[in-house]
Amino acid sequence: MKLSLGFSPCPNDTFIFDAMIHQKVDTEGLTFDVSYQDVETLNQRAFNADLDITKLSYHAYAYLTENYVLLHSGSALGFGVGPLLICNDPSILREGIESLTSRIGNLKVGIPGKNTTANFLLSLAFPEAENKVEMKFSEIEPALLNNRIDLGVIIHENRFTYEDKGLLKVMDLGEYWEKLTSCPIPLGGIMIKRSLPEEVKQKVNRIIQRSVMFAIKNPLSGLDFIRSHAQEMSTDVMYKHIELYVNKYSVDLGDEGRRAVNIFFDEALKKGIIPDIKQNLFL
């Protein structure tokens, strides 16, 4: 049986899925037709139910629970892994957060997609931020440097590069979440179509867990594959990225991870950021 599978070309995803798609672990008779796209593109494809299995922002998942269900393995959750709000104007830092809160409605903020967890956290921390510009995550730093936007929310490997470009951190949105909830921040998860047979869903969950565990035990096994998708990223930055986003929650959400996901949706519902959810979130 062949299933369509979508994940990002970012090192944490290619690290996780390498063993699975290259048959380095037992795939129990399944094969995969793989698409590599940035997370917001995958979010949009999921609204069309294009893929059998897909990486999704947890924010986007809130709107897609009728068609998809969250697998236990493959997720990106953690402490110290959240998106950063950055700027190119030192005066914004000098003014402080209170002043920024009062005038952020007049500032142009670059976000990596409206359905991303990054945008959810921005909305939670700064509900007044309404002048948002959606762009690919890799375009946010150049937009700040060219003064096309006033603030930007960065994700992925940009955490490791923004300071080298002279950009400044305004707030760690993941840290904001951690102080608010004492939970790891749920960034993205692996979802599978609810319409697939239960046996297939359970099989995929097992295969992904095997693939994650193989990668952790053999971290250099997928180096060439990871590098081929990493877009001029140094090996050092690639593995910093992997270390940041691949952890125990990637192997299995566990009780702590599931609690974090539930709190994430509870907070979003309270703020009116997402609609009410009637389906069970977890496989």
- Catalytic residue IDs: 156
Residue count of the chain: 283
The annotation status of 65 as a binding-site residue, yes or no, is no
Q: Is 268 annotated as a binding residue?
A: no
Spatial distance between the Cα atoms of 51 and 205, rounded to a whole number of angstroms: 16
168: left (phi over 0), alpha (psi -120 to 50) or beta: beta
| Burial of residue 277 (number of CB atoms within 10 Å: 0-12, 13-18, 19+) | middle
| Beta-strand runs (E) in the chain | 2-7, 31-36, 53-57, 68-70, 76-78, 84-87, 109-111, 132-134, 151-154, 168-172, 185-193
Distance CA 98, CA 121 (A): 17
The helix/strand/coil state of 185 is: strand
Question: Which candidate, 139, 144, 175, 147, places its Cα nearest to that of 38?
Answer: 139
Pairwise CA distance, residues 261 & 88, whole Å: 33
Residues 6 or more apart whose Cβ sits within 8 Å of residue 210: 19, 20, 25, 26
H or E element that contains 249: helix 248-251
Going from the C-alpha of 63 to that of each of 43, 44, 271, the distances in angstroms are: 10, 11, 15
Answer yes or no: is 118 a known binding residue: yes
Distance CA 72, CA 62 (A): 17
Is 56 annotated among the ligand-binding residues? yes
Residue 46 assigned ligand-binding role: no
Q: Show binding-site residues for substrate.
A: 55-57, 117-118
Q: Show binding-site residues.
A: 55-57, 117-118
